[in-house]
Amino acid sequence: MPKRSEEMLMDLWMSLLLVWITCVPCVSMSPIIGQSKSTHTGGSTAVASGLGEGQRLLSRAKRGWVWNQMFVLEEFTGPDPILVGRLHTDLDVGNKNIKYVLAGEGAGTIFAINELTGDIHAMKRLDREEKAEYTLTAQVINADTDEPLEPPSEFIIKVQDINDNPPQFTEGPYQASVPEMSAVGTPVARVTATDADDPVYGNSAKLVYSILEGQPYFSVDPNSATIKIALHGMDREMREEYLVVIQAKDMGGHMGGLSGTTTVTVTLTDINDNPPKFSKSLYEFVIPEDLPLGKMGGKVKANDRDIGENARSTYRIIEGDDQGIFEIFTDTQTQEGILRLRKPLDYESKRSFTLKVEASNIHSEPSNSGPFKDTATVKIVVEDSDEPPVFSKPMYLLEVNENAPINTVIGTVTARDPDSTGSQVRYFIDRHTDLERQFNINVDDGKITLAKPLDRETDMWHNITVTATEVRNQISRAIVAIRVMDINDNAPEFATENEAFLCENGKPGQVIQTISAMDKDDPIQGHYFNYRLVPEMLNNPNFTIKNNQNNSISILAKHDTFRRQKQEMYFLPIIVTDNGNPPMSSTNTLTIRVCGCSKDGIVQSCNVEAYVLPIGLSMGALIAILACIILLLVIVVLFVTLRRHKNEPLIIKDDEDVRENIIRYDDEGGGEEDTEAFDIATLQNPDGINGYLPRKDIKPDLQFMPRAGQNRCLKRKKKTVNNKGDHLFEFFLE
């Protein structure tokens, strides 16, 4: 209560002070008889003060205006204009011929002056926040002549502030964040309010901040408006967001001051202050022994109350997996630990596993103590599955000699049933890999035998697939690669064509041809060929052979008397033998043609006829001449043929048989008149009469009507009737 009384007393004194400031200028200026007189250059001031009725005290002082600054209270409202102040000059001694004139900012609109008394009134309500002061000019002039009696003097009217503007938070509402578990006094945010009132006059713009909502978690500094942590151990996992209301009050926070508020939303940011925690201490999984590698066998989850990077955990197996059968990794989306196989399970070997899994944070706060990890037990039971047979090898490599007898055993494949039942295994060949059925397999013991003879030169490798099947139709497959081993069953032969050319003008010992051999066999130690002439050619007078020591020989000529007229072609049989066991040999005949060659040894012609050609006439010229002769003969034959066809008559006539020709037709006759429709010229020239062709626009029976002066040459000789009832006529030419 005493504090409240002091505030009320202070407000009362402030109100009285404002009234005094407003009223004193009016009261103090009314008894003044003479005011100081102003000039542009300065001077002295005479002040007259009434001390009593009929008394006057005159004094002389330095010239200056007492009224050079006036005040008016803002936002003043009333029925009459508010009196700002009064101007008075020494010249105003009661005569009425002076007039006060006001000029400057707002003169005549905002401010008005009484021309006779010098009273200045504010005509409108003023707002200091719009304009704080006005500069005006006062002057005294002669009312009759309007001549200035004194130089103009400048003065200022200031708008005096009142507390009419509340504090405002222009940037609110605010958002702020602070790490959880921050210490008491940790700054969170700073808010700022502004007051449009005059900061240098009174306490209208002196602000004091307080917190209306948000306690006991936060506090605010009353002067700097800094929001701070006020409660220890604020946990984001308990509450993440807080709403704080801040108030700013002017007048230094005293009674009667105006206030404004804003809100600050404070969010606690996460720190890694919570370890991962498994939802249960024991996990149990049943995994079939045929689970493929890399497939999920189970999953565990350690929950972390933190968020973001602070909640990320990693998993690892720390006990129970000495053989490295399992592995666990973290699903980045769900933060679960995925358990999967690295090695296949075997129910017959081990039927259960007990693992210990640990989950730990990837990131941890250095200030936090204690292990940020948790462990759980994972028990895995292996479920028995019907497994397919298992081959002793994933791939078998067998060898067999080519031309081996049918039913020869090439090799054996074996497979077993890994299940505890140990079912019997049966073997088959996948015939899609043995379309020609060259191999067979024993269904009980897996022995592979030969069904057809093999030829290494045709196929060196055969890849077949063998399947092993148990009672429950579980199937396994294995690849069997069969290599056909070579035996010496092919004789060598010449690698190129068996033909060579010999120049007539060659020298003795010249190399006619170099011969090499090839063998379809492929011995391990490589090929070595032996060449020799057939026994009857050992004493050949024309040719001999030379071994080049590189599995090839050269054919040499023994003399230079080879002539095409004497013998055009020679045959040289050569025996080629390989080094196989047993050795194989073949006889290859080399054909040697005697040819005409140039001086450089280039073969030009190997034909006997070419020798008798004139010297200087080439083969190309001979061919061209022969072609021209053939073309001339063809032209002559065509010309003769055309001439013969042109001179041949269109109808071959025989004078002896002309009158014996009989014309027959099957038509019903009309009697004797029918003979008048024919002319002998028609019979002699059926293509036209006297050079005229038949007309198509006349009926056929009228085409050859006899002309005037022509004789009728046909005479009916006999009329008969056939078995169909048709009348037949026979005519003779006269």
Tens of pLDDT along 346-375? Answer: 887 888 999 999 999 887 655 555 568 899
φ, ψ for residue 81 (rounded to 5)? -60, 145
**Type of residue found at 254:** H
Cα–Cα distance measured from residue 429 to residue 451, given in angstroms and rounded to the nearest whole number: 12
Q: What domains lie within the chain, and their CATH numbers?
A: 69-160 (2.60.40.60), 168-269 (2.60.40.60), 277-383 (2.60.40.60), 390-485 (2.60.40.60), 493-605 (2.60.40.60)
Q: Please, what is the average pLDDT of the chain?
A: 76
**pLDDT tens digits along 56-111:** 333 333 333 445 667 777 777 767 788 888 887 777 766 668 888 888 888 888 88
What is the arithmetic mean of pLDDT over 491-515? 81
Structure tokens at 404: 């081996």
Long-range pairs for 205-210: beta carbons < 8 A, 24 or more residues apart: 205/250, 206/250, 206/251, 206/252, 207/167, 207/248, 207/249, 207/250, 208/248, 208/249, 208/250, 208/252, 208/253, 209/246, 209/247, 209/248, 209/249, 210/246, 210/247, 210/249, 210/253
The H or E element that residue 683 is part of is: helix 680-684
Angstrom CA distances, 318 to 143, 177, 480, 562, stand at: 113, 40, 43, 98
Q: Give the model's confidence band at 569: pLDDT under 50 very low, under 70 low, under 90 confident, else very high.
A: confident
**pLDDT tens digits along 244-301:** 999 999 888 888 788 999 999 999 999 888 889 998 999 999 999 888 998 899 999 9
The pLDDT, as a whole number, for residue 38 is 35
Structure tokens at 278: 């498994």
Report yes or no: 150 and 89 within 8 Å, Cβ to Cβ: yes
In 3D, which of 697, 669, 664, 707 has the Cα closest to residue 683? 664
Residues 6+ apart with CB under 8 A from 629: none
What's the whole-model pTM score? 0.44
Q: What secondary structure letter does DSSP report for 96? A: S
- Residues 27, 31, 33, 34: what is their CA dihedral angle, to the nearest 10 degrees? -30
Structure tokens at 645: 């066809």
Residue 470, pLDDT > 60, answer: yes
